[in-house]
Amino acid sequence: MTPTSIRMQPDTEHQSIRLFENDLLERLSHVHPITPLLVWAPIAAWLFYRALAVYALDAAAVAAVAVAGMFVWTLSEYCLHRYLFHFPAKSKFGKWLVFLFHGNHHEDPKDKTRLVMPPAGAIPIMAVLYLLFGLVIPQPWIQPFCAGFIVGYLIYDYIHYSTHHFPMRNRVAKYLKHYHLKHHYSGDGGRYGVSSPLWDRVFRTDPER
C-alpha cells in the first residue's frame, strides 16, 4: 500500500485519510487528544513517586534532573521531527512508513484525531529511548529524568494540538503557532521545533535566520 493508494474514510466531522485496510489498525491510528495525558501522566507521576518515596532522593535534585529531562526532550523532539519524520526515503516501503508516521499530518494538518501521537506509536519510541538513556544515566536518577522527559513530551503534544486548533492569543503561544504553521505552509522547509525554536537556531534550520 502506498500514499497514492490511500483512500478517504468517511467521518461525521472530518474526512480522515485512511492509512490501513485493517479496521483495527485504522482505529488505533486515531486518538482523542486527552489520551496521551491519560496514558503518560500516571507513568510520570509513578516515576516521581519512586524517586522521592522509594529511593528517597533529595527533592531539589529530583526537580533539577527532571528539568534536564525536559530539556533533553526538546532536542529529541527536534531530531525525531527532522531526521525520522522527514526522512528522505527512496523505497516504496520507506516512503509509506514516513507517510504513516508524519506525512499524513502534512497532507491533512487539520485532522484533530492525528495531532497527538497515538500510544501505539509513542510507546515503542519511549521504550527505545528509555533503554538508550539507561546506558548513560544510572539508577535511580533515570526515574526523575524520564519523568521530566515525559512531561516535556506532553507539553509538546498539546502545544502541537493547540497550534492547529486554538487561536493562541498569548504572545508566546501566538509566536509558537505562527512558527509551526510556517513549517507547514511557507514552502521553505525547516522549523522542526514545535515546543521551542531553540534547536532550529542552533542547527540553523530556521530559514528566517
Exposure string over 45-58, b if 16+ CB within 10 A, otherwise e: eebbebbeeeeebe
pLDDT at 25: 85
pLDDT at 13: 60
**For residues 6 and 116, which has the higher predicted lDDT (pLDDT)?**
116
Q: Which of 86-100, 120-134, 145-159, 165-179 has the highest mean pLDDT?
A: 145-159
3 state DSSP class of 181: helix
Query: pLDDT-derived band of residue 8, with 50, 70 and 90 as boundaries?
Result: very low
Q: Could you give the angle at the alpha carbon of 59 between the alpha carbons of 37 and 65, nearest 5°?
A: 65
In the predicted model, is pLDDT for residue 55 greater than 90? Answer: yes
- Residue in this structure with the C-alpha cell 523532539, named with its chain if needed: 77
Q: What values do phi and psi take at 33, rounded to 5?
A: -60, -20
pLDDT at 11: 43
Residue-averaged pLDDT of the chain: 89
Task: Note the pLDDT tens digit of each residue in 183-201.
Answer: 999 887 899 999 999 999 9
- % of the chain surpassing 90 pLDDT: 62
The answer to whether 17 and 98 have CB atoms below 8 angstroms apart is no
Bond into 140 cis (ω within 30): yes
DSSP class per residue in 164-178:
HHS---SHHHHHHHH
Give the HSE-up count for residue 69: Cα atoms under 13 Å, Cβ half-sphere: 30
In the predicted model, is pLDDT for residue 19 greater than 60? Answer: yes
Query: pLDDT-derived band of residue 48, with 50, 70 and 90 as boundaries?
Result: very high
3 state DSSP class of 8: strand
Q: How far apart are CA 156 and CA 15, in angstroms?
A: 25
Task: Note the pLDDT tens digit of each residue in 136-176.
Answer: 999 999 999 999 999 999 999 999 999 998 988 899 999 99
The answer to whether 86 and 102 have CB atoms below 8 angstroms apart is yes
pLDDT at 21: 87
Nearest CA to 149 out of 185, 175, 114, 125 is that of: 125
The answer to whether 48 and 142 have CB atoms below 8 angstroms apart is no
In the predicted model, is pLDDT for residue 60 greater than 80? Answer: yes
Kindly report which listed range (103-112, 115-124, 134-143, 172-181) carries the lowest average pLDDT score. Answer: 115-124
Count Cβ atoms below 10 Å from residue 132 Cβ, excluding itself: 11
pLDDT at 1: 40
